[in-house]
Structure 1
């Protein structure tokens, strides 16, 4: 790989990224900049770079196939052209098999891009301060989201007792490619994510012309998600509440065509009322609708009058997942939506011992999910273990969105919710026990060679 030799990639050369990011499978550092490229001169120029839909509105996707939501038949798994997908499904020691580590490279493309924007923006923001603040807010949001995604896949779950010593990821905060920071701790990565989000939340607007641009509620939703992973439930509840004040809408599933192959609007071209920020999970062969075959265990969780059973799944002898908030037959949803916020708030209330508030949020959500007239609201008298109920509904509602993997990692630290995963292939059971080192993805060999950082234990 040809490395850059300039002391700094000046923000004024940012248009080169349109070329670099198209070929960034070779790593998040690219080719030497061509100084003849057009120079951005206004916040609108930087905004156009953030609107690169195929860079910023994409989240990692291998965590879905690594979890317990899919049951992929042998002939389908063996036919995948991407070795990494099969290796993830079977939790192999070597995930990549010589292929590029897209799950690592993708977020670092976003980090690289945002760092150049953040470094270059101050030189031009005098022309439109309000627009410059908004652009800065978007860049900070996307950098935070990228690092949060990285630490979910390439580090242990956040544990307050060990986060300061658990290896995280490389924390790049400048666009100077000669700056070679080592591997930050998990705590340092989370601290940076929270710092970026705190500023982004203050800068982002309340509304945007497209669901693919982050707004204030998106930053609040990500803050709620981050604090949930950290086990700081009071803060997660507060941020979920703030986001719901701005974006409380739920779709009544009774208004959808449950027989449709793609029952949700084809977002973001057509607005989905629940979507706060549209991103899609990176497309792999498993994510094609007819290949996203769900686990019978997951399918069995839904009641007969629960519309999610027919709206999320094909209902055939082999069930595939069709309940995509992308409205696409190829892309799984990886963004932020209102339903997740109700579930975060319900979980946090349950953990605080406020069962009534937890069930109120759960009832609000489920009234919009069950056939009209069939849902019997939960009360503290009939709910049983409220936290278990909320976590079960979280699993059902947020299926195939890329959230289950991080939930498994954090819940494995609680004996009552820890789970051993089992995938069957070739007549053999492959298992992943709670706390297994394979819950942490290996860093691509190319990155180890370039940076010299330590490889994750497998």
Structure 2
């Protein structure tokens, strides 16, 4: 009964927050949530509908180049904000058309609750249940890093330590704290610090894959350091992961004709998180970019497992969380690709080649994959980046990859849309890669808006 009442209290808090016009100025009503023990706080964290299901990340896929929307579908979209996001509209006060940003609100909603958990568990005696206490504190730190990074990926540019425009760091459950944008460097340092602390508390493997673990923290540290172009550090964390578990899912063992070929907690999943797909990502609305779809060879099992033809056009069939929900968690295949890219950038071609071929052999029909040789670093890097895009499709990582690639001197990407006969071009490092902060938030918490 206690756990049931706790979950009701959490849901009530979420509903209260959802009705607010500002996501940074809501204080959790401590009279509603009264956990007192390690078990209580773990029950709060185990509300997977709250902490593993997110409205964050989806805009990253809508704004990337893996899909397009036919004119008739685009013209019929009911959400002006969705149209603006898809077309990289300039922004200003009318970008969200009064709808606000679900991803901004969702992330800060979760951060408020996570901070309440951190503040609460710190008041519980650790010696009452040391392993359980460590798991709660480590998990809460992981989630705080996970959702702060979701905000960084969407509302900030590619990592640049001189960039003053980071995010407001939410590290307490107190509304009276003044909320200001930290610099980008400070924002990333805070996220990395939380994850480093989490690795010292979490178990190597979780009780179940809906909970964070040390491996999940390492995988996220690898992802974030890659986004920062810290290749040596990203490699170190990827190797820590793979040393602990490098087991890949053989796609030959899957039913390519099934509606949902992948087990949501399959052997590659390290930490499971997902989003309810925005309207543009539904099968009836989006179409996969024709060049991307054509790049999958006939014996590449991803072509059958990831896609289905609907109304004569290729649509995303689903990944590690089915069709209606994009998988935005952490998985072994991403870690392989992180490591392969970092090894190449450090000139370790033979090691990168071995990892890459081991991964790719599990994606093709048995006996059909021909191992590649990494003799030329530039060509090999292009190969790895292409397969990264093809393997991690609809995991809401592509836009972050484009941002970091455009910041460097190689592999720049120019994105294009054609809407009602008009071509829209987004050149490398265009400020419109970064979504604007909701105007209502700026009125309540004065801070610089993202230039677009």
* Fold match (TM-score > 0.5): yes
Q: 1:330 to 1:118 in 2, by over 3 A?
A: same
Matching residue of 1:7: none
Closer, same or farther: CA 133–348 of 1 in aligned 2, 3 Å: same
Matched residue, 2:149 = 148
C-alpha separation in 2, matches of 1:295 and 1:140:
37
Report the counterpart of residue 101 of structure 2 in structure 1. Answer: 101
* Aligned residue number for residue 65 of structure 1: 62
8 Å contact kept, 1:14–1:116: no
Show the 5 A alignment for 1:45-444.
Answer: 45-57=40-52, 58=54, 59-94=56-91, 95-126=95-126, 127-159=128-160, 163-265=161-263, 267=264, 271-315=265-309, 317-326=312-321, 328-381=322-375, 385-444=379-438
Alignment of 1:24 with 2:24, yes or no, is no
Q: Whole-Å Cα distance in 1 between the matches of residues 31 and 339 of structure 2?
A: 51
Structure 2 CA distance, aligned partners of 1:315 and 1:36? 52
The question of whether the paired residues in 1 share the 8 Å contact of 2:37 and 2:124 is answered with yes
1:174-219 Cα offsets, whole Å, 9 max, x none, are 2211001311000001100110000101111122232111111100
RMSD value, Cα:
2.0
Shift of 1:78: 2.4
Q: How far apart are the structure 1 equivalents of 2:338 and 2:31?
A: 49
Checking the alignment, whether the CA contact within 8 Å between 1:287 and 1:331 is kept in structure 2 is no
Q: Compute the displacement of 1:91 (Å).
A: 0.6
Instruction: State how far apart, in whole Å, the 2-side matches of 1:412 and 1:224 are.
Output: 19
Q: Distance in 1 between matches of 2:171 and 2:268?
A: 33
C-alpha contact (below 8 Å) 1:342/1:365 kept by paired residues: yes
Residue-by-residue CA offset, 1:11-69 (whole Å, 9 max, x unaligned): xx997542131353433257666565351111111111112222211242111010000
The answer as to whether partners of 2:318 and 2:324 remain within 8 angstroms in 1 is no
Structure 2: 5+ residue stretches without partners: 1-5
Deviation digits for residues 264-320 of structure 1, max 9, x if unmatched? 12x2xxx31111111113421123233342111210211121111111111452000
Which is further off, 25-34 or 357-366? Answer: 25-34
SS in 2 for 1:281: strand
The answer to whether the 8 Å contact 2:7/2:47 transfers is: no
Indicate how the Cα distance of structure 1 residues 382 and 291 shifts in structure 2: closer, same or farther if over 3 A, else same.
Answer: same
* Matched-pair contact (CA < 8 Å) for 1:358–1:386: no
Give the whole-Å Cα distance in 1 for the aligned partners of 2:330 and 2:391. 13
Quote the Cα distance in structure 1 between the aligned partners of 2:38 and 2:423.
54
For 2:230 and 2:27, the matched residues in 1 are separated by 43
Report if aligned partners of 1:345, 1:358 keep a CA contact under 8 Å in 2. yes
How many angstroms apart in 2 are the aligned matches of 1:173 and 1:139?
Answer: 11
**Secondary structure of residue in 2 paired with 1:96:** coil
Question: Which runs of no fewer than 5 residues in structure 1 stay unpaired?
Answer: 1-12
Q: Is the deviation greater in 304-313 or in 400-409?
A: 304-313
My pick for the range that moved more, 74-83 or 277-286, is 74-83
Residues matched between the structures, number? 438
CA 1:170–1:38: 2 relative to 1, 3 Å: closer
In structure 2, distance between residues paired with 1:377 and 1:88: 39
- Whether the 8 Å contact between 1:115 and 1:175 is mirrored in structure 2 is yes
Question: Is the partner of 1:221 in helix, strand or coil?
Answer: helix
The 3-state SS of whatever aligns with 2:186 is helix
Counterpart contact for 2:111–2:170, Cα < 8 Å: yes
Instruction: Quote how far apart the aligned CAs of 1:382 are.
Output: 8.5
How many angstroms apart in 2 are the aligned matches of 1:32 and 1:346? 44
Retained in 2: the 8 A contact 1:16–1:33?
A: no
337 and 212 in structure 1: CA distance in 2 versus 1, 3 angstrom threshold: same
Q: Could you tell me the TM-score, scaled by structure 2's length?
A: 0.92
The answer to whether the 8 A contact 2:17-2:26 is kept is no
CA deviations 1:46-98 (Å, max 9, x no partner) are: 11111222221124211101000011111222223332222111011233111
- Return the alpha-carbon distance in structure 2 between the equivalents of residues 53 and 402 of structure 1: 20
Match of 2:36 in 1: 41
Q: TM-score, normalised by structure 1?
A: 0.91
CA distance in structure 2 between the partners assigned to 1:257 and 1:197 by the alignment: 37
- 2:383 & 2:372 partners in 1: Cα distance? 10
